[in-house]
Every structure is written in structure tokens, then in C-alpha cells.
Chains A and B, each alone.
Chain A
Amino acid sequence: MASVKLTKVQKIYDNNVVAVHDFDLDIKDKEFVVFVGPSGCGKSTTLRMIAGLEEISGGTVEIDGEVVNDLQPKDRGIAMVFQNYALYPHMTVYDNIAFSLRLQKVPEDVIYEKVTHAADILGITQYLMRKPRALSGGQRQRVAIGRAMVRDSKVFLMDEPLSNLDAKLRNQMRAEIILLIVIMKDGYIMQVGTPEECFDMPANLFVAEFIGAPKMNIMKTQLLKENGKYFVTPFGAKIEVTGEKGRILAEKNTPAGEIILGVRPEHMVLADANDPSAIPATLEVNEMMGSELHLHVFTEDGTRLIVRVPTIGLSSEERESLVNGKKMAVSFEGKVMHFFNPETEENMLL
């Protein structure tokens, strides 16, 4: 059983730049947590504080219930895969993987067992006597993972590792572990949850825009309340909020007023111009993506929206009719909307 708990962890550099703010996170055994966020948001710093490579300015880091703030990296029971792998260039693959065991004075035959076992799993047995410089990027990464594997650590840290891990290995690793993501911005945690949670119920506007591609469409609009029913009125259209979303709004007894409305491009549809729920728009660019089209349109006031249309339902004539500058209408259903407070940018349903 291994767990990692961060309580009010802070990183303040000498020049008073705060890299990480009051970071709280509780990672249980077998949980696989991924930090995501734009570059410079404090992902690596947090990881390095857990590893003990960066001094912790405030708060505590616990591994298995023990506060490890003042422990050296080697005494924390962690293994780490570095962003650029950090393989020792003057050692063979075998020596690279065996390095930590040798420092612990593990007998050579045990080292042999462990290293060959790890190499076997990672499929790098035939490279054991090579130097890192003679390996390809993917092979180097496997060596780096192998180096972390043989340590039998409680906690496994990886700095941007899965990005170029090949698919087979990635699936193997994901199969047995629960995936949680931590979305960060400017040193603050924005949201912690499974990828589905973050996608379906983003905690705030930042998460909503960060997760999913192309980006969520954002519209400034009014929330109306009529006879206990809620409506939104983007660009003159009037759409009822239905389903779970409508129910929550009613439960919370949300007052009518200004809101920020978010709709994912895949939830947008082409509509009949006469429909009351239709938003009149002009096509700007038509991007062909194969199985789908990305239609970049702008509304009367110039707001840009993206509509993802599956090509499967369109004939080639219909597709060709979508020329740049064409007047059209778009819409979306009432159950797929996201509501954000215009001041705090928080999700109004949470």
C-alpha cells in the first residue's frame, strides 16, 4: 500500500516568484495521477518537490503517512523517470539499470536477476551491453523506465513520459491503474478528477477550454427563467435547458441573469434558419478532417464558433455547398450546455 499526500504544499523561489500555491492532493494506492496544464504551470516543480529534488517552501509531503519534507530523494522510496530520461552516458544499459541496486550493495546475482527481468518485460534484453547513445528515443525511454522499475519503489514519478511512450506499453500500464488527472494553472490546482469528469463537468472556464480539442465554444449570454423552466438566449436564439443540467439549475434555484455559456464543438449542429433555436452565422473556413468537418463560423457580432460535423451523414454535394462566406444557422441541444459564472468563471452547476 502506497499513498502520497500533499498538504498546502508551496514553492516560492528566492526572487519571490510563487510557482506552486497551497497544493492539496491525496493519491491513494494504485492510483495513476497525471498533472496537466500549460507550460510553466508548476507541474514539474510539484513533481520535483515530491521527489525531493526541489526544496519545499511550505506545507508537507507525506509518503505512506510519513512526512518526507526533510528526507533526501534516495530515502523517500520513490523512483523517477526524467523528462529527457537522464541516462548515464558512460554506462551500458545494464549498468544504468543496475546503478541504484549497486549503491544499495545488493549482491550481483540478485542484480542480474532483477535487471534481466526488467529488460525482458521492456523488451530491451538485446541492448543490455549498449551505451545509451546507441539507442533510439523509444529504447532510451524503456531503459529509463527499467531503471525506475528495479528499485521496487512505493511511488513512481514520471516527468512527461507518456507523451512519446509507444501505444502498446501505454495500454499495458493503463490497464491496471486508475487514471486521475490534476489540471493546473499558474501553480493552482484547477480540478482533480477522472478524465471523464473533467470533460463532462469542468470545474471552471479554464478547465473547460483546456480539455478537449478543438476548444469549447464560449458565448456571453442571458439565462432566463420562465415557469420554472430555464432558457438561454445566445445571439437571438432561444434554447431551453433540458435534461440533467436543467434539473440541477432548478434544484439550485439559480437566479436568471448574465452567464457564460459553453458548448463543445461536437455538440453543435447545423440547423434550419427558421428554427427559433437557430443562431444565424457565416461560414469562415471549412476544415476537412477526414471523418469530420470543422466549420469555423462567426455570428452577427463577430463571435467565432466551431462546429464539428461528422462527414458520414453528408453527401459530397452537400459538403461542397459549404463554401466560405455561406450564410447558415447553427444550434445545439439543451442537455449539452455548460454554465459559468461571468465573474468567478466557476461552473454554476457545481
Chain B
Amino acid sequence: MNNKTAEIDRQKRSIGLKASARISNTIIYILLVIISFIWLLPFIFIVLQSFRCEVTGPVGYVTPKVWGLDNYKRLLECNFKTWYLNTFIIALCVAVLQTIIVLCMSYTLSRFRFKMRGGLMRFMLILGMFPGMLTMIILYRVLKDLGLTQANAVPGLILVYVASSGMGYYVSKGFFDTIPKSLDEAARVDGATRAQVLTKIILPLAKPIVIYTILTAFMAPWGDFVFARYIAFGTSSGYNVAVGMFDWLSKDQIGSWYTTFCAGGVIVALPVTILFMCLQKYYVEGVTGGAVKG
């Protein structure tokens, strides 16, 4: 008798356990669907509105009444092509050069124990506490003296982005730190120079972080607004996409350029997003492996 009640009780509880798990999972599914919507909706709106032909300003509905490619055609007619090309060139150069510099820096700080190492890292930490914006004023004047502003802003921007990129070594250093040092030592006993240790052992093992670095370096210039605006100020042919498109949403232009902005946004976001989705695995590995440990 007693045994039986206990058995029934146990069954009840296990049913309760399953049911409560089902309920909580259902709630989570609902939440996840809502979250996904909130996160995706604005982008869906942008895409929809980029095909709207009837009104060019902001309106109170999402689905276009007249579909068409007018806005994309308009992009081709204005300076957008130049901006796009500018940004692309900048992103490409920065991706290559910045990756080299960041890897040099982080490999050195992870692997070598030299006299100034600790001081150097502390010094860079302190430098990083100064708002970077402060240096803009002088960099602008210096670049202007060198003739690298306004119409020539592209090389100027590349120079500025790349030159200080050594400060952003934390994430990849964190990743390098997870590669056992005994591999370096084994390779050195095997006859490799330090340079060969880097090229033959560390870099092949650090593939995720190399790709992560390239990816972030490539993506950053697409979104940079303030520096690009400062350096190319007033000369449309030196703008990048962010600076150029910013004006489209200003008070006096938004009425005629709003949908074009959406089209431009799609064109800008598409390649970056596709690239990002392809390399997502490495990005996740980089963020979770390097960012936290570094």
C-alpha cells in the first residue's frame, strides 16, 4: 500500500517535471521568436522601404505601395559610387595592414619576455584612456599639411586607422596566450628561428584569430563616421559611405533622400553581412577565445 502511494507520487512528480520543462521551453521559444523579430524588423523595414517608389520621405507604413528600383537607380546617379569605392579601398587596405600590425604586436607581447614589456603594456593601457577624439584635431592639421585631406582623404584615413592599430592587440594576444609555449620551445629545439616559429607554428594554429582580426579590421571602416567626416569635411569626393549617407537623413534632405538611404544601406550591408556570415565561425571563436581571456 505504502509502496504504491510512493510509486504514484513519484510518477506524479516526474510528470510534473516534464510538464514544467515543457512549459518553460514553450515560454523560451515564444521569447526567442519575439527577440528575433525585434532584432530583425528594422532590417526588414530597411529592405522593404528601399523598394518604395511612391514617396521618398518617411511614412507611416512599411510595405511599399509602388514597388521599384528607383532608389537604387538614384544611387548610381549620385556620388554614392565614389563613396562606396572609397570605403571599399579603405576597408581592404586597413584589413591587410592592420592585421599585420596587430599580429606583430600581439605575438610579441604574448611570446617574448623583454625588459620593457610590462612598461610598454601599461603605457598603452594609459594611452587608451585618453579619448581618441582628442587627437583628431591635430591629425587633421597634420594630414592637411601632407595633402591627405578632403579629396585625398582615402590614403589619409588609411594612414590614421592603421598607424595606431597596434594598441588593439588585446584580443589576439589573449588567443596567442592559449597556445602552449612548449610548442615554441619544441620548434626552437628543432632548429627554427623565432621568425620561423611565427610563420610555421603559431600562424597556422592561430587561423581563427587571424580571420577574426581581418574581419573586424575590414568591417570597422564601413561604420566609421566621426573621423572620416572630420578629415573629408566638405568635399564629397573624399567621403566614405557613412559620412555621405549621414547628410541624407539631415532635416532638409530627409524628405527626398530617405528611401535612397535605405537602398544605400542595403547595398552597404549586403556584402559585409554575407562575408560576416561566411566567416561567422571564426568571429565567434575569436570573441569567445580572445576577448574574455585577453
In whole angstroms, what is the CA distance A72 to B189 when docked? 8
B192 touches A86 (CB 8 A): no
Query: Interface on chain A toward B: helix, strand, loop, or mixed SS?
Result: loop
Decide if A53 is an interface residue (CB 8 Å cutoff): yes
Query: Interface on chain B toward A: helix, strand, loop, or mixed SS?
Result: helix
Stretch at the interface among A77-85, A277-285, A313-321: A77-85
Interface residues in chain A, defined as those with a beta carbon under 8 Å from any beta carbon in chain B = 51-53, 72-74, 78-80, 82-84, 86-90, 99-100, 103-104, 147, 151
In whole angstroms, what is the CA distance A104 to B196 when docked? 12
User: What sequence of 0s and 1s flags, for each residue 208-247 of chain B, a beta carbon within 8 Å of any chain A beta carbon?
Assistant: 0000000000000000000000000000000000000000
B191 touches A86 (CB 8 A): no
Decide if B204 is an interface residue (CB 8 Å cutoff): yes
In whole angstroms, what is the CA distance A287 to B214 when docked? 64
A82 touches B185 (CB 8 A): yes
Residue of B nearest to A150 (CB): B190
A53-B185 contact in complex given A86-B180, A88-B201, A90-B204, C-beta closer than 8 Å: yes
Residue of A nearest to B179 (CB): A89
In whole angstroms, what is the CA distance A52 to B192 when docked? 13
A99-B190 contact in complex given A88-B201, A90-B205, C-beta closer than 8 Å: yes
B180 touches A84 (CB 8 A): yes
Decide if B167 is an interface residue (CB 8 Å cutoff): no
A78 touches B190 (CB 8 A): no
A147 touches B190 (CB 8 A): yes
**Among A72, A80, A103, contact of B186 (Cβ-Cβ < 8 Å):** A80
A86 touches B182 (CB 8 A): yes
Chain A's nearest CB lies how many Å from the CB of B291?
Answer: 22
A53 touches B188 (CB 8 A): yes
Residue of B nearest to A157 (CB): B189
**Among A53, A74, A83, A90, contact of B190 (Cβ-Cβ < 8 Å):** A74
Residue of A nearest to B183 (CB): A86
26 contacts between A and B (CB under 8 A): A51-B185, A51-B189, A52-B188, A52-B189, A53-B189, A72-B188, A73-B185, A74-B190, A74-B191, A74-B192, A82-B185, A82-B186, A83-B182, A84-B182, A86-B183, A86-B185, A88-B186, A88-B201, A89-B205, A90-B204, A90-B205, A99-B187, A99-B192, A103-B190, A103-B191, A104-B191
In whole angstroms, what is the CA distance A79 to B190 when docked? 7
Q: Which A residues lie within 8 Å of B188 (CB)?
A: 52-53, 72-74
Chain A's nearest CB lies how many Å from the CB of B115?
Answer: 10
Closest 5 pairs (CB-CB, A-B): A100-B190, A86-B186, A74-B191, A86-B182, A103-B191
Q: Which B residues lie within 8 Å of A79 (CB)?
A: 189
Docked complex: B53-100 residues within 8 A CB-CB of A: none
Residue of A nearest to B194 (CB): A72
Q: Which A residues lie within 8 Å of B191 (CB)?
A: 74, 100, 103-104
Q: Which A residues lie within 8 Å of B183 (CB)?
A: 86, 88-89
Residue of A nearest to B196 (CB): A103
Residue of A nearest to B205 (CB): A90
Which of A51, A72, A79, A86 has the largest count of B CB atoms less than 10 A from its CB? A86
If A72-B188, A147-B190 are given as contacts, then 7 extra A-B residue pairs at C-beta distance below 8 Å, sorted by A number, are A53-B189, A73-B189, A74-B191, A82-B185, A88-B186, A89-B205, A99-B192
In whole angstroms, what is the CA distance A51 to B187 when docked? 12
**Among B180, B189, B196, contact of A78 (Cβ-Cβ < 8 Å):** B189
Residue of A nearest to B185 (CB): A53
Q: Which A residues lie within 8 Å of B201 (CB)?
A: 88
Chain B's nearest CB lies how many Å from the CB of A77?
Answer: 11
Q: Which A residues lie within 8 Å of B189 (CB)?
A: 51-53, 73-74, 78-80
Q: Which A residues lie within 8 Å of B204 (CB)?
A: 90
Q: Which A residues lie within 8 Å of B186 (CB)?
A: 80, 82, 86-88, 147
In whole angstroms, what is the CA distance A53 to B200 when docked? 19
In whole angstroms, what is the CA distance A100 to B189 when docked? 8
In whole angstroms, what is the CA distance A79 to B186 when docked? 9
Q: Which B residues lie within 8 Å of A72 (CB)?
A: 188
Q: Which B residues lie within 8 Å of A80 (CB)?
A: 185-186, 189
Residue of B nearest to A148 (CB): B189
Chain A's nearest CB lies how many Å from the CB of B283?
Answer: 20
Residue of A nearest to B201 (CB): A88
Chain A's nearest CB lies how many Å from the CB of B112?
Answer: 13
Chain A's nearest CB lies how many Å from the CB of B207?
Answer: 8
Q: Which B residues lie within 8 Å of A86 (CB)?
A: 180, 182-183, 185-186
Which of B182, B183, B186 has the largest count of A CB atoms less than 10 A from its CB? B186
In whole angstroms, what is the CA distance A78 to B196 when docked? 19
Q: Which B residues lie within 8 Å of A74 (CB)?
A: 188-192
Residue of A nearest to B200 (CB): A99
Residue of A nearest to B203 (CB): A90
In whole angstroms, what is the CA distance A86 to B188 when docked? 12
In whole angstroms, what is the CA distance A309 to B186 when docked? 48
Residue of B nearest to A74 (CB): B191
In whole angstroms, what is the CA distance A84 to B179 when docked? 13
Chain A's nearest CB lies how many Å from the CB of B196?
Answer: 7
Q: Which B residues lie within 8 Å of A100 (CB)?
A: 190-191
Q: Which A residues lie within 8 Å of B190 (CB)?
A: 74, 99-100, 103, 147, 151
In whole angstroms, what is the CA distance A100 to B188 when docked? 9
In whole angstroms, what is the CA distance A7 to B97 when docked? 49
Which of B183, B185, B187, B190 has the largest count of A CB atoms less than 10 A from its CB? B190
Which of A79, A87, A88 has the largest count of B CB atoms less than 10 A from its CB? A88
Residue of B nearest to A48 (CB): B185
Chain B's nearest CB lies how many Å from the CB of A83?
Answer: 7
In whole angstroms, what is the CA distance A74 to B180 when docked? 19
